[in-house]
Amino acid sequence: MLRFVVFTFGLLLAASFASAPAMAQDSGLKRLDTGEDSKGWEAVGRLDLAGKGFCTGALIAPDLVLTAAHCLFDRRDGTQIEPTSIEFQAGMRNGRAEAYRQVRRAVMHPSYRFDGPVTAGRVRNDLAILQLAHPIRNGSIEPFAVMRDAGAGDRVGVVSYAHDRAEAPSVQEICSVMGRQQGVFVMSCDVDFGSSGAPVFTMAGGVPRIVSVISAKAEAEGEKVALGSQLDASVDLLRTQLKSGVGVIRPTVTRGNTAPQKNRANIGAKFVSVDGG
């Protein structure tokens, strides 16, 4: 059994997961600084939240970005961030992105509760889809397909931004699913502050497909691990909600002011590590 303790959103979460041995040695992070390095990963982008912080997200359709639900909340007071204050910067590296798009509206998993107790269910439901104001139709930016599952011991990879790599993403091509329970993956992937919402890929057949989204980081038996949600049918559910309008987060319009409210505080886009770092 793999026992881990994680501080996320400033609270304590403890659980046990059945673990499996890694199938291969994990690869290290590789910074994607050039166009050649980034080829094939352009649909992963940085989500800028009114300049107050950032998350990572990935296109799953020309106008849809998959990320973590907690990125839509102000970590200090729990208020929701206006969708229109969020900008998706596709393939952002060294000050330039392949495409820039404002978010028009958003939807998060109906069972996600930002201010609820920290449980496996909270991590499992930490999913959101952002709809862009205008689709990205660029031949070099291809949205990723989504798979519902991965198994213990499977090799996966992750592409993410972080506090020490905010200007260019990094890819870890090989890490492992160490265990799974109650819809939460425990993975050996290297994530850090700012990696919230980063896509986790299976590389089966040489084609990257998203199998999870990074929710938090933790420590398990002295080793750093990443926690992510099992996607199962959740992405289909969120797409359906967007089409029907159920649970959709739209811009807030106040009397005498048609401009969306701006995010005014630091957001929950950055993890709280086990040592409070």
- What does pLDDT average to over the chain? 82
Q: Which of 147-151, 184-188, 259-263 has the highest mean pLDDT?
A: 184-188
> How high is the pLDDT of residue 256?
45
**pLDDT > 70: percent of the chain:** 81
| pLDDT tens digits along 232-267 | 899 999 999 999 998 998 876 544 444 444 433 333
Structural domain including 182 reads: 2-249
Tally of domains in the chain: 1
Does 266 reside within a domain? no
Does 262 reside within a domain? no
For residues 275 and 277, what is the distance between their CA atoms, to the nearest angstrom? Answer: 5
Does 270 reside within a domain? no
pTM score: 0.84
Does 245 reside within a domain? yes
Does 277 reside within a domain? no
> How high is the pLDDT of residue 258?
41
Q: For residue 13, is pLDDT > 60?
A: no
Q: Which residues of 24-57 are buried (b: 16+ CB within 10 A; e: fewer)?
A: eebeebeebeeeebbeebbbbbbbbbbebbbbbb
Q: For residue 171, is pLDDT > 50?
A: yes
Does 257 reside within a domain? no
Does 61 reside within a domain? yes
Does 254 reside within a domain? no
Q: For residue 155, is pLDDT > 60?
A: yes
Task: Say which residue, 130 or 51, is predicted with more confidence.
Answer: 130
Q: Tokens 């205008």 sit at which residue?
A: 134
Beta bridge partners of 6: 13
Q: What mean pLDDT comes out for the span 113-119? A: 80
Task: Show Cβ contacts of residue 161 under 8 Å, excluding neighbours closer than 6 positions.
Answer: 46, 54, 56, 92, 168, 169, 170, 194, 195, 198
Q: For residue 78, is pLDDT > 70?
A: yes
Given pLDDT bands bounded at 50, 70 and 90, which one contains residue 57?
Answer: very high
Amino acid letter, 138 = N
For residue 44, the domain's CATH number is 2.40.10.10
Q: Which of 37-41, 98-102, 180-184, 224-228 has the highest mean pLDDT?
A: 98-102
Q: What mean pLDDT comes out for the span 41-47? A: 96
Q: What mean pLDDT comes out for the span 204-211? A: 88
